[in-house]
A = this chain, B = another copy of it.
Amino acid sequence: MTNNNSIEAELLEEMARWPIFDPHSHIDPHRPAARHLDEVLGYHYYTELAHSAGMPADRVAAELDPDVRARNLAEYLDRIDSTVQYSWLLEIARTFYRFPSDRITPRTIAELIELADHRRDGEAWDRQVWETSRLEAVFLTNDFDDPLEGWDTSTFVPCLRTDDLVLKLHEPRTIERLRSASGVDVQDQASLREAIGALFEKFVSRGARACAISLPPDFLPRPASPRRAVTPIRKAIHGMDLRPDERDEIRCAVFWTLAEFCDDFRLPFDLMIGPIRNVYPDGVLGGRDLFDRRVSLYDYRELFNHFQGVTFPVSTLSPDAGAELVAYSWIFPNVLPMGHWWYSNVPAFIAADLKARLQAVPKVKLLGYYSDAYKLEFILPKFQMYRRVLAKVLAEDAIRGRGWTVEQALEVARLVLLENPRRIFSGVGRPASPSTKI
User: Do residues A293 and B290 form an inter-chain contact, with CB atoms below 8 A?
Assistant: no
Among B290, B326, B398, B400, the residue within 8 A (CB) of A331 is: B290
Q: List 19 A-B contacts (CB under 8 A).
A: A5-B400, A49-B330, A51-B333, A52-B329, A52-B330, A52-B361, A52-B365, A54-B333, A81-B363, A83-B362, A280-B305, A282-B308, A283-B331, A293-B296, A293-B298, A318-B324, A320-B321, A343-B360, A346-B359
**Inter-chain contact A48/B362, CB cutoff 8 Å:** no
Question: A280-B332, A308-B282, A323-B318 are known contacts. Are A347 and B52 too (CB-CB below 8 A)?
Answer: no
Taken together as a complex, chains A and B put the C-alpha atoms of A304 and B282 apart, in Å, by 11
Interface positions, chain A 60-119, Cβ under 8 Å from B, are 79-85, 87
A24 is an interface residue with CB less than 8 A from chain B: no
In the A-B complex, the 8 residue pairs with the closest CB atoms? A53-B362, A319-B323, A292-B298, A348-B355, A82-B363, A348-B356, A327-B343, A80-B362
Are A83's CB and B360's CB within 8 A? yes
A interface, CB within 8 angstroms of B: 1-5, 48-54, 79-85, 87, 276, 279-283, 287-288, 290-294, 296, 298, 301, 304-305, 308, 318-321, 323-324, 326-333, 343, 346-349, 352, 355-356, 358-365, 388, 392, 397-398, 400-402, 412
Task: Give bound CA distance, A343 to B332, whole Å.
Answer: 14
Most chain B beta-carbon contacts within 10 A, residue among A1, A82, A388: A82
Query: In the complex, what residue of chain B is closest to A344 when comparing beta carbons?
Result: B323
CB distance from A269 to the nearest CB of B (A): 18
CA of A6 to CA of B45, assembled, Å? 34
User: Could you tell me the distance in whole angstroms from the C-beta of A271 to the nearest C-beta in chain B?
Assistant: 16
Q: How many copies does the complex hold?
A: 3
Given known contacts A320-B323, A323-B318, A330-B52, A279 and B301 CB-to-CB distance under 8 angstroms: yes
Q: List the B side residues contacting A298 at CB < 8 Å.
A: 276, 279, 290-293
Q: Evaluate contact between A292 and B296: CB separation under 8 angstroms.
A: yes
Interchain CB contact under 8 A, B321 and A293: yes
Q: Per DSSP, are chain A's interface residues mostly helix, strand or loop, or mixed?
A: helix
Bound-state CA distance A330–B308 (Å) is 38
Contact of A3 among B1, B332, B356 (CB under 8 A): B1
The residues of B that contact A3 with a CB separation of less than 8 Å are 1-2
In the complex, are the beta carbons of A343 and B330 less than 8 A apart? yes
Asked if B301 and A280 sit within 8 Å, CB to CB, the answer is: yes
With a CB–CB cut-off of 8 A, which chain B residues contact A365?
Answer: 52-53
Residues of B within 8 A of A355 (CB): 347-348
Are B331 and A320 in contact, with the CB atoms below 8 A? Answer: no
Structural contact, B276 and A362, CB atoms closer than 8 A: no
A55 to chain B, nearest CB (A): 9
Chain B residue with minimal CB distance to A52?
B333
Q: Are B364 and A79 in contact (CB under 8 A)?
A: yes
Which of B282, B327, B358, B392 is within 8 Å of A82, CB to CB? B358
